[in-house]
Amino acid sequence: MRQLNRLNQYQRLWQPSAGAPQQVTITELASRCFCSERHVRTLLRQAQEAGWLSWKAQSGRGKRGTLTFHVTPESLRNEMMEEALKSGHQHNALELAQLAPEDLRALLHPYLGGLWQNDTPTLRIPYYRSLDPLVPGFLPGRAEQHLAGQVFSGLTRFNGTSSEPTGDLAHHWEVSTDGLRWDFYIRSTLHWHNGDKVETVQLQQSLIALLALPALRKLFQSVSRIDVTHPQCLTFILHQPDYWLAHRLATYCSRLAHPEQAMTGCGPFRLTVYDSDLVRLESHEQYHLSHPLLKAIEFWITPTLFDYGLGTSCRHPVQIAIGEPDELASLRLVSNSTSLGFCYLTLKQSPRLSEMQARRLINIIHLTELLHTLPLNEGLITPTQEMLPGWCIPQWPELRDVQLPKTLTLIYHLPVELHTMASQLKQYLAQQGCDLTVIFHDAKTWDGCLRLADADIMMGDRLIGEAPEYTLEQWLRCDALWPHLLSAPQFAHLQATLDAVQTLADEQARHIGLKTIFTGLMESAVLTPLFNYQYQISAPPGVNGIQLNTRGWFDFTQAWLPAPKS
C-alpha cells in the first residue's frame, strides 16, 4: 500500500528528533529510510509539496540541510484513514490503523457503528476474530451461520420468531397424501448476486451437491432424488415420509450458492469482500423479498479492540457497535435474551461408569453450588433445569451412598466457559476420591476429535436455531458425539426412533415424540443441560431496528439508520 509506505518513511524521518527541526545530510536520511539518496530526495520533495515538512538543502556534498516538520505522524494517519474510508477503501484504513495497535481503539471509534458514508447507510461491526470460509453445509461459528443466512437463500426459510418454515426461493410447496412427493414451486423473479437469472436446474445442481456431503446426507437420508418437473418446480421424491423436510431446507446449512460460484448467492446481501481483516456485505438490489434498509454492513476484524479488562470481549455477548468516544456513555443495550441453546454434559455408561454413578455425577452438578459458583462474568450464563422450556431434568435422591469410580476421563470443546467448568468439576471430584483426567478439544464441534472413544464424560455447546425441536432432532442425527456416546444397538435404536417420529404429519406429535426421546436420555443419565447464555447487543444512538434472533445476532435486513441532518 503506497500510503502506508509513505507514512512509514515519514515516521522514520520524524522519529530521531520527535518532530523538532533537524540538521541532517541527505546520506543520513537515505540510511534512515533504507533507500537511495535519489529516492530520499523524491520523498522530501513529495512531502514538502503535501505540506508535511520543509527541507532547505545546503550546496555541496555532505553539507547538512534543515528539516522542519509541520504535521505529526499521528495526524497524518488519521487524515489518511478518513480519506480511505470516504473513498470506500476500508482495507487501506485498517492497514493504516495497524501501525499503532495500542491506539487502535481510540483511532477507530469515530468510524464504527452506524454511519451515512457518501450517502450510503453503513453499519460497521467490530469483531474479535477472523471469520471462517462460508463453505456449504454445517458451520461451527454463530457469526458464520448468521452470515450464511444473510448471503444465501434456501427453498424455504424461517420468518422472524416463527418456528414454522415459509417460502423463500420456493413461493410455496405441496405434499402428497403419502408424504413421499414434495413439489416446491420456484419464484420466477429470482436473480443471483452477479445479476444472472436463477434457473431451476441450477438449484437442483446445488441441492444435489449439498446432499452429497456426508453430514447433509444423514440429514436428508429419506430423499431418493430431486427432479425438475417443470421450469418452475423442483420435486423431491422420498423413500420414506419426512415431515421435517421443509424445516431441513430452511436451516442455514441448506442455503444454496450458485453451482459454479461458491460465494455467489441470492440472499438479501451479497459479499463484496471476505478477507481476514474485513468482511463487507452490500444489499442485493434484485432480492426477491423485502429489501434491506442498510446499503452496506462491514465486519472489521480488530482483535485489539477486545481487551478483557475493558469489558469489550465479544466471546458470547455480541457487541455490534462502538460509537464516538464522547458517545460511549450513552451506548445502550438494545436487545437481550436468554438463549435456548445450552452447554451440556453427557456420560458414557460402561463397566467403568454405571447408570447410578452417572446419576450421582449429574446430582453433583445440579444439587450442589457447582454451577452457581463458577467464577465467570456476571450475567453471562444462567444455570438451567430444562433442556427446552417444559423439558425438565429428572429429580433423583442425592445418592451419597453411591461410590464414584476411582478414575474418570472428561473431554470437552469450546466455548471457553467450559474451561472453568472442567476445572471446578475436577477439584470437586477429587474431594470425593475420584481422579478426573481432563482433555481439551480445541474446536467448536466434535468433528475430527480422535479422543471421544477414551472419554467417560463429554461437555460441549448446542446452539438452538429457529425451530428448537427440529434443531435437537438434527443434533441427534448428525453430531459425531452420539455414535461414541451410545452403544451400537442403542444408536441404531435412536435412529430408528427418529425415523418413526419424522413420519408423523402432525407437528405437535413430532414434538411430543422428540420430548420422549430426550426425556429418556436424561432419565438414563446419558445427557443433562448445564446452562444457557445471555445474548446481548449494544449499539450507539441512531442504530434502529435491532432485535436479537435465536443465534444471538440480528436480522441485517431490519436494521436502519435515520437520514443525516442537513
What is the tens place of the pLDDT at every residue in 509-557? 999 999 999 999 999 999 999 988 766 555 555 566 666 666 666 677 7
Confidence of residue 473 (pLDDT cuts 50, 70, 90): very high
HSE-up of 19 (CA within 13 Å, CB side)?
Answer: 7
Quick one: pLDDT at residue 230? 95
Helices (H), 243-342: 245-250
Tell me, what DSSP letter sits at residue 317?
Answer: S
Q: Is the pLDDT of residue 88 over 70?
A: no
> What integer is the mean pLDDT of 179-189?
97
Quick one: pLDDT at residue 270? 96
Quick one: pLDDT at residue 550? 66
Q: Is the pLDDT of residue 303 over 90?
A: no
Q: Is the pLDDT of residue 477 over 90?
A: yes
Helix, strand, coil tally for the chain in percent (to 5): 35, 25, 40
CA distance 104 to 95: 11
Quick one: pLDDT at residue 140? 85
The sign of the torsion formed by the CA atoms of 481, 482, 486, 487 equals: negative
Quick one: pLDDT at residue 98? 55
Grid cell locating 260:
459454479
CB atoms within 10 A of CB 383: 14
Confidence of residue 310 (pLDDT cuts 50, 70, 90): very low
Decide: helix, strand or coil at residue 325: helix
What is the tens place of the pLDDT at every residue in 312-325? 333 333 334 333 43
Quick one: pLDDT at residue 30? 86
Q: Is the pLDDT of residue 371 over 80?
A: no
> What integer is the mean pLDDT of 414-427?
88
CA distance 346 to 457: 6
Q: What is the DSSP string of 43-111?
A: HHHHHHHTTSEEEE--SSTT--EEEEE-S-HHHHHHHHHHHHHHTT-HHHHHHHHTT-GGGHHHHHGGG
**Higher model confidence: residue 437 or residue 417?**
437
Grid cell locating 510:
413430532
Quick one: pLDDT at residue 74? 78
Q: Is the pLDDT of residue 107 over 70?
A: no
Confidence of residue 99 (pLDDT cuts 50, 70, 90): very low
* Choice among 113-117, 362-366, 441-445 with the minimum mean pLDDT: 113-117
Quick one: pLDDT at residue 329? 45
pTM metric for this prediction: 0.79
What is the tens place of the pLDDT at every residue in 222-255? 999 999 999 999 999 999 999 999 999 999 999 9
Quick one: pLDDT at residue 349? 92
| 299 CB-near residues (< 8 Å, 6+ apart) | 125, 127, 131, 143, 278, 279, 280
* Phi, psi (deg, nearest 5) at residue 124: -110, 125
> What integer is the mean pLDDT of 198-220?
95
Quick one: pLDDT at residue 323? 39
Quick one: pLDDT at residue 351? 92
Average pLDDT, the chain: 83
